[in-house]
Amino acid sequence: MHSEIPQGQRILATFGLMLATLTNTLDMTIANIALPHIQGSLSASQDQMNWVLTSYIVATAIMTPLSGWLSNKLGRKNIFLVSTALFMVASMLCGMAVNLPQIIIFRVLQGLAGASMMPMSQAALLDLWPRKYTAHVMAIWSGVVTAAPVIGPTLGGFLTDTLSWRWAFYINVPLDIIGFAAVYLALPPDEKGLRRPFDYIGFTALIMFTVGLQLMVDRGTMKDWFDSTEIWIEATIAASGLYLFIVQTMTHRQPYFAAAIFKDRNFVTCNTLGFLLATGLFTTSALMPVLMQSLMGYSAIQAGLATMPRGFGSVSAFFIVPWLSPVLGARKTIVLGGAINILSLWQMGHFDLTMTDGPIQFSGFLQGFGSALMFNPLSVIGFSTMPAEHRNEAAVLSNMVRSVGGALGIAAYSAIEIRQMAVVRNHMVAHLDPSSAVLGWQMPDLLGGSSGTIAMLNAEVNRQAAMVAYDTTFGYMCLVSLAMLPLLLLLRPGKSPTIPVPVDGH
């Protein structure tokens, strides 16, 4: 099949797949920076505005598991084209929304339409290109899906400030039109995958797990976690869904995801590593803008510009890794990327309030570079022993695992940061007394000062405590990244002739 496709047609199809996927990955973060402007324009409360993000996440969680089955049933190309067209329409409608219910409904449509674009583009590229190009093509794909969410806030801030918040959505329309046309003209029709009966129990259980989990981690901080009845309900739904899904997969003759996928050691190991890597990468992207704006006085645009080197690091690594991996071997390339990622988190664990944006940019570049060195070999090795008929489902599952990893990472590390801030603040307050060697000479004036003076002291204590809490949280991420590396010993060279992958040169 590969030899029958002209090279120019492959390139055009790849361009279309990547461009359409870019709009989907950008939308994960591009709208975040525009939320205050949307809130003011639509006269909505903060709690209501959270549903603009939550609705998109939940809709994506519902549709992602279904996209693999639909692609086997209707064809991968057909599903991708329909998804791209609907995503374009939904983006345009989001930009035209005049009230809160409208934008929430259109964001749901966006999430439903865009959920299949990432896994389907990955599976299509694996079939489109001969095996000798696999590492290079996966480098391009990984670069887009990793760098786009990092660039999103900066692009969203620029469009919002120079035009309006509506252009954070309108920008998708011309890009999707071009991507749709390229895929329609150049991507060959795919052979249908295995048509197993639809496992309603497995699908329902998976939806219970993903939706319950996404709602829990998205609303947990706002609802004070397990002090809220809502969070308990969502956690119970997620746990019940996971249990039912595991039992159904192990006992049913034709489960929702083919049992062969979970028996592939490379795929399971790579996705475990990808899950752990995503917890730190997604969390850092979420915490860093808050740190810069709340503690260091950065504007939204300044914070976005300071985080852009992470995207540049990712892109740089994706150009290098296709040539580096054959020389070092896949495992050593992943170890090198892991070491660079650990170094970046170690540096983040030593941030302080007097620093410039230099350490933020440098550590961000290192993290983007190191993570990309890991992601690309993991994407290749994970499919190296996967039969072609299971690629659609495996691609869907792989993207789900990383998405869940990112969501859980943000929830867990944010909870750690909040708790550490309270602990450090209490410790600092306990040492604010007249006998303190540092503050003793100022304490009488402060205690006898105005309420504004005391408020300033309280604000500074909170700021210092928050910085220590962020450093501690980055330290935990560093330890988790270090602990995940021994899992590489479980990887084995690919035996599949479709995508041979060198593992440490063998």
Segment 411-428, tens digit of pLDDT: 788 888 888 888 888 887
- So what's the pLDDT on residue 478? 93
Mean pLDDT, rounded, of the chain: 80
Q: Report the alpha-carbon distance of residue 344 to residue 151 in Å, rounded.
A: 19
Q: Work out the angle between the directed axes of helices 300-328 and 134-162 (0-180°, nearest 10).
A: 170
pLDDT tens figures, 488-500: 888 775 544 343 3
Q: Report the alpha-carbon distance of residue 158 to residue 174 in Å, rounded.
A: 18
pLDDT tens figures, 367-382: 989 988 888 788 778 8
CA 53 to mean position of chain CA atoms: 14
Highest-scoring range by mean pLDDT, 19-33, 73-87, 155-169, 195-209: 73-87
What percent of the chain has pLDDT above 90? 15
Inform me whether the pLDDT recorded for 253 exceeds 90.
Answer: no
Helices (H), 129-171: 134-162, 167-170
Q: Report the alpha-carbon distance of residue 332 to residue 74 in Å, rounded.
A: 40
Q: Report the alpha-carbon distance of residue 72 to residue 267 in Å, rounded.
A: 20
Rounded average pLDDT over 85-93? 93
Q: Work out the angle between the directed axes of helices 358-382 and 391-430 (0-180°, nearest 10).
A: 150
Query: Are 341 and 146 spatial neighbours (Cβ–Cβ below 8 Å)?
Result: no
Contact residues for 406 (Cβ-Cβ < 8 A; gap 6+):
278, 279, 281, 282, 283
Question: Which residue is listed with tokens 């039109």?
Answer: 177
Q: How many CB atoms lie within 10 A of CB 329?
A: 19
Q: What three-state secondary structure class fits 489?
A: helix
CA 252 to mean position of chain CA atoms: 31
Query: Are 310 and 367 spatial neighbours (Cβ–Cβ below 8 Å)?
Result: yes
- Nearest one of 401, 382, 370 to 275, comparing CA atoms: 401
Q: Report the alpha-carbon distance of residue 240 to residue 212 in Å, rounded.
A: 10
Highest-scoring range by mean pLDDT, 132-136, 223-227, 363-367: 363-367
DSSP states along 211-264: HHHHHHHHHTTTTTGGGSHHHHHHHHHHHHHHHHHHHHHHH-SS-SS-HHHHT-
CA 124 to mean position of chain CA atoms: 21
- One-letter amino acid at 375 equals F
- So what's the pLDDT on residue 498? 40
**DSSP 8-state secondary structure symbol assigned to residue 28:** T
Which strand (E) or helix (H) includes residue 35?
Answer: helix 35-42
What would the two tokens of residue 414 be? 């944010």
Contact residues for 38 (Cβ-Cβ < 8 A; gap 6+):
31, 44, 49, 52, 103, 165
- Nearest one of 64, 61, 82, 73 to 198, comparing CA atoms: 73
Which strand (E) or helix (H) includes residue 25?
Answer: helix 7-26
Inform me whether the pLDDT recorded for 430 exceeds 80.
Answer: no
Higher model confidence: residue 39 or residue 345? Answer: 345
Q: Report the alpha-carbon distance of residue 55 to residue 44 in Å, rounded.
A: 15
Residue 163 pLDDT grade (very low, low, confident, very high; cuts 50, 70, 90) = confident
- So what's the pLDDT on residue 496? 41
What would the two tokens of residue 51 be? 């549903």
pLDDT tens figures, 441-490: 455 555 555 555 667 777 778 888 889 999 999 999 999 999 888 888 88
Higher model confidence: residue 377 or residue 339? Answer: 339
Phi-psi sector, 75: left (phi>0), alpha (psi -120 to 50), beta: left
The model's pTM: 0.73
Inform me whether the pLDDT recorded for 307 exceeds 90.
Answer: no
- Nearest one of 67, 84, 65, 69 to 21, comparing CA atoms: 84
Higher model confidence: residue 31 or residue 408? Answer: 408
